[in-house]
Amino acid sequence: MVLTGAGLSTDSGIPDYRGPDAPARTPMTFQEFVAGPEAHQRYWARSHLGWARMGHAVPNAGHRAVAALGADLVITQNVDGLHEAAGTPRLVALHGRVADVVCLSCGSTTARTALQDRLEQANPGWAARHADVANRPDGDVALEDTAGFVVPPCEGCGGPLKPDVVFFGENVPKARVERCYAAVESLAATGGTLLVAGSSLTVMSGLRFVRRATQRDVPVVIVNRGPTRGDALATHLVSEGTSDWLPALAAVRTA
């Protein structure tokens, strides 16, 4: 089983969260997002710019290697959709996908590309006026002044729209967690290994699977540049970049 984090996508041009060059971040929490229209405006104004840039990202050698490994399950904490683009089979996007949008009133889901077109029509020239702001790991940008940005509502019911991702302060859907735990139990039964790639394991949503693996005597290999919260639980630590190390592993596995 493979568990991936933001470090896997840095070579695709998406900044990570906690690497040595990572920008400071104050991600919007779920409680902040649902507080009202001003929070929606602030989020979507930033996301509109970030999505336009993230949409050009393509899978790197690390993503392609993970797809080629043939793991029983790949769990990604990333929301960028690059594992999907690489054709990764048996994938759980633990925190959802920023390419999907959900209505908080009626629960309907739509494609982010469709909302992007609506945002562009409602806010002509917004991207050009803010072309110099820096990207951030969450698929948005470092923009403070979001006054005047128009956020279209759900076309079906007029309710507020939210990216179909798990915000801080929001729980990962139970079914996803249970599927991942079941995969760890399968590793224990079959003598498998858990490979962690490009994650600092700082948040519990990913670390809990490493903890469960060690409780079941499943070997844990962590590949990451820099320390992680799971280092003390690892059987092996590899301090290398995922875009270099994972293709080498895949070549050995498929030889």
Contact between 223 and 242 (Cβ < 8 Å): yes
Domain layout of the chain by residue ranges: 2-254
- Whole-structure pTM value: 0.89
Give the C-alpha separation, 123 to 146, whole Å: 11
Residues 79-118 have pLDDT tens digits of 999 999 999 999 999 999 988 999 999 999 999 999 999 9
The CATH fold of domain 2-254: Rossmann fold (3.40.50)
Residues whose CB falls within 8 Å of the CB of residue 93, separated by 6 or more in sequence, listed in order: 76, 78, 79, 81, 83, 84
DSSP state for residue 66 in the 8-state scheme:
H
Residue 134: the pLDDT is 65
Residue from 40, 48, 63, 95 carrying the catalytic annotation: 95
Cβ neighbours of residue 75 closer than 8 Å, sequence gap 6 or more = 1, 2, 3, 4, 91, 92, 94, 180, 183, 206, 209
Beta-ladder partners of 220? 194
In the residue annotation, 95 being an active-site residue is answered as: yes
Distance CA 42, CA 77 (A): 24
The answer, yes or no, to whether residue 158 has pLDDT greater than 80, is yes
